[in-house]
Amino acid sequence: MSVDLPGAAGATVLLVDDNPTNRYVLGTYLRRAGHEVLEAEDGVSALELLRQCTDLPELAVIDIRLPDMTGFEVCEIIKADARTAPLPIIHVSASAISVTDRAQGLNMGADAYLTEPVASNELLATVAAVLRYARARQRAETLATRLRGLNRATLDFYSAENVADLAARAAAGARRLFGVDALVVVRTAEDGLVQMIGTQGGTAAAVAEPPERFARAVLRLQSRDDAGVRMEVVPAGGLAGRDPLTGGTRALAIASARVKGTGSAAGVVLPQDALGDDDYEVLTQLAHACALSLEALRSYREEHTLALTLQRTFLPASLPATSLADLAVRYLPASQTAEIGGDFYEALPVPDGLLLAVGDVAGHSLDAAIVMGEIRHALRAYALEGHGPAVILSHLERLLRQVDSPVGATLCVALVEESGGAVQVANAGHLPLAVRNRGEKTYFVTEHGPMLGLDLTHPPAVRVLVGPGTQLVMVTDGLLERRDGDLDEAMQRMADVLTGAAEDPEEVCELLLAHFPPDGRDDVALMTARLR
């Protein structure tokens, strides 16, 4: 009675022996057991055969006594080459049969050692055992590689900026995992539209004129009421006609996933013949991670829109029209966070002239937004009461102490006097006011006190002489500060840019944003004023 052992399925075996009779006998045993046999009569020809093979044999049976080199040396060369090192080797010999010989063969990297004459059942049982172990090891290594690739792809999803980008990353991840071109179909809850991204030679791109019936059929494999992941193998042309991946000539493996309670769904499509037994589970995990990331992206987009709307309610609806100056402002919220920032600005006609202010509450959080709103409304109230810049800072310091503010803030306040001949500047730890008098170089009013919220005394305001055409520029650190940059150098660059800038405040704003493009990590508030 024959026993079908795991690992005994037919394999390609390299048989190396200089004796034609031995090759015939051993080759016959192997062929009758269902194996394909490649033969070589010496070490050099065996190594050359391995170099020329596109697909390596699964096993090598090597005689020890070869005419050009020993089987030990052949084994050593095979194991020293990264390409051939995984090849399992069985040594056979009729003369090198001592314990020392057997130990040497195993130490050189052989997996088994047989002495001749070899009985057919012993040879085939040893071949089956070695193949079983080698295939199990290969399967484990392949699965480990797949799981590492799956982890990499999943982490890559977190960097997606939009739905199309996520689909492209998923398609590229599937291409890396399985080594074949893939399709990814996604649908978001709010728009119901299907996007299809495919790979062509490893590069992900939108499918030109995607067949919408095919794409929707992929997602309909799983009903709207069914959450989780579903795996399907669809015969060639079995989904709404010819598919754009194989042209409807090969069966497709499709993993579709849907997030419970939402309309977010994703489908990953591969040729079925590209997958091994363990690959279906990896493919379903990839589809599930894509669907979850799709829903997270949708939630983030909604949260970011809500945060931005709330943030803008704390800022002035428009700049005032005043005879003292022409004003321009730019406000750019951070694009890489959904949290509410604390940057703000204010421009307000007051009894003594025109009050300008730019501030920044520490952090990105609801607390920061609340403190920002409190400071801005209190600033307006104190200014309309007729207080000067330094007194306003002192009052704000007392306010933060009384409300037990959880965060601090920086704030620069400038009062353009009604006469237009001077500006009073009080700075609580903020970036300094930039001043460019007509025809002169830009300079900074560097005098400042501590930031608000530290319960410290604030110094008197500094009075700066100005005239018609003088430019005043106030910014928050989101414009200039970078993780890998020097703030002082950035401020000097800003001064150089302003010195050569046009007089129109709107053009000044655009020029600064062009020279210091925001990196999306922090809010940017920028206000310019040209005195009349």
Kindly give the residue spans of alpha helices, DSSP state H, lying in 481-519: 487-499, 505-515
For residues 1-11, average pLDDT: 54
Model confidence at 1: pLDDT above 60: no
Exposed/middle/buried for residue 449 (C-beta within 10 Å: 0-12, 13-18, 19+): buried
The helix or strand, by DSSP H or E, that contains position 339, with its residue range, turns out to be none
For residues 300-308, average pLDDT: 65
Compare 359 and 339 and report the one with higher pLDDT. Answer: 359
The helix or strand, by DSSP H or E, that contains position 474, with its residue range, turns out to be strand 471-475
Contacts of 166 (CB under 8 A, 6+ apart): 157, 160, 186, 290, 293, 294, 297
Peptide bond into 117 cis (omega under 30): yes
Which of 154-163, 204-213, 436-445 has the weakest average pLDDT?
A: 204-213
Main-chain phi, psi angles of 36, to 5 degrees:
-95, 135
Model confidence at 2: pLDDT above 60: no
Strand order across the 59-63 sheet: 36-40, 12-16, 59-63, 89-93, 112-115
pLDDT, tens digit (0-9, with 9 covering 90-100), for 468-490: 999 999 999 989 988 788 999 99
Compare 332 and 466 and report the one with higher pLDDT. Answer: 466
Model confidence at 387: pLDDT above 80: yes
Looking at residue 195, its pLDDT comes to 62
Q: Where are the domains of the chain?
A: 12-138, 158-307, 315-531
Contacts of 194 (CB under 8 A, 6+ apart): 185, 186, 187, 210, 212, 215, 216, 219
User: Half-sphere exposure of residue 388, counting CA atoms within 13 Å on the CB side?
Assistant: 13
Model confidence at 365: pLDDT above 80: no
Rounded distance between C-alpha atoms, residue 312 and residue 309, angstroms: 5
Looking at residue 338, its pLDDT comes to 46
Residue closest to 124 by CA, chosen among 35, 213, 57? 35
Residue closest to 478 by CA, chosen among 513, 502, 445, 450? 513
Contacts of 32 (CB under 8 A, 6+ apart): none
Per DSSP, the three-state class of 488 is helix
- DSSP conformation class of 452: B
- DSSP conformation class of 441: -
Domain 158-307 in this protein, CATH class: alpha beta
pLDDT, tens digit (0-9, with 9 covering 90-100), for 496-520: 999 989 889 999 999 999 999 987 7
CB of 502 closer than 8 Å to CB of 485? no
Residue closest to 526 by CA, chosen among 485, 486, 497? 497
For domain 315-531, the CATH superfamily is: PPM-type phosphatase domain (3.60.40.10)
Rounded to a whole number, what is the largest CA-CA distance in the chain?
114
Q: What is the 3-state secondary structure (H, E, C) of 38-95?
A: EEECCHHHHHHHHHHCCCCCCEEEEECECCCCEHHHHHHHHHHCCCCCCCCEEEEECC
Rounded distance between C-alpha atoms, residue 461 and residue 458, angstroms: 9
Rounded distance between C-alpha atoms, residue 376 and residue 314, angstroms: 8
Looking at residue 4, its pLDDT comes to 45
Query: Which range scores top for mean pLDDT: 57-66, 259-268, 313-322?
Result: 57-66
**pLDDT-derived band at 274, boundaries 50, 70, 90:** confident
**pLDDT-derived band at 225, boundaries 50, 70, 90:** low
Rounded distance between C-alpha atoms, residue 492 and residue 218, angstroms: 57
**pLDDT-derived band at 305, boundaries 50, 70, 90:** low
Rounded distance between C-alpha atoms, residue 48 and residue 302, angstroms: 62
H helices then E strands: how many in the chain? 13, 21
Model confidence at 298: pLDDT above 80: no
Compare 9 and 14 and report the one with higher pLDDT. Answer: 14
Main-chain phi, psi angles of 436, to 5 degrees:
-130, 105
Helix, strand, coil % in the chain, rounded to nearest 5: 40, 25, 35
Compare 99 and 300 and report the one with higher pLDDT. Answer: 99
Looking at residue 7, its pLDDT comes to 46
Rounded distance between C-alpha atoms, residue 394 and residue 413, angstroms: 12
Model confidence at 405: pLDDT above 80: no
Main-chain phi, psi angles of 206, to 5 degrees:
-65, 140
Rounded distance between C-alpha atoms, residue 426 and residue 422, angstroms: 13
Whether domain 12-138 has CATH 3.30.930.10: the reply is: no
Which of 45-59, 60-74, 457-471, 514-528 has the weakest average pLDDT?
A: 514-528
Looking at residue 94, its pLDDT comes to 87
Query: Which range scores top for mean pLDDT: 167-176, 272-281, 381-390?
Result: 381-390
Residue closest to 467 by CA, chosen among 397, 530, 398, 411? 530
Kindly give the residue spans of alpha helices, DSSP state H, lying in 158-270: 163-178, 212-220
Buried b (16+ CB within 10 A) or exposed e, 463-495: ebebeeebbbbbbbbbbbbeeeeeeeebbeebb
Residue closest to 524 by CA, chosen among 370, 360, 380? 360
